Structure 1
Amino acid sequence: MSGNPQKGRTPEQIRASNKRLGLILLGVAAAFFVGIFIRQVFFA
């Protein structure tokens, strides 16, 4: 078939990927709560 062997990722790459994903999720959650806060304060 096709010669596409799966490349193993090093633990450092996995950690970096997990950290990046965590920061993205944290940013989304922070934006959500800031939006709720602004809505409560300015549009109450």
Structure 2
Amino acid sequence: MIEEAFQVYITRRRALAMNAIPMTIEEAEAELGRRFGQQAI
């Protein structure tokens, strides 16, 4: 469940920033932590 939400989140981020360097896993986890709290990790 969490992994599925994570993949959707990454896909959306990449779609919104096609010209940007893709986030690393660590960056994505940090962003998820800020948005959803530590239970999301």
TM class by shorter-chain length?
Answer: 0.3 to 0.5
**TM-score normalised by structure 1 residue count:** 0.41
Structure whose alpha-carbon radius of gyration is higher: 1
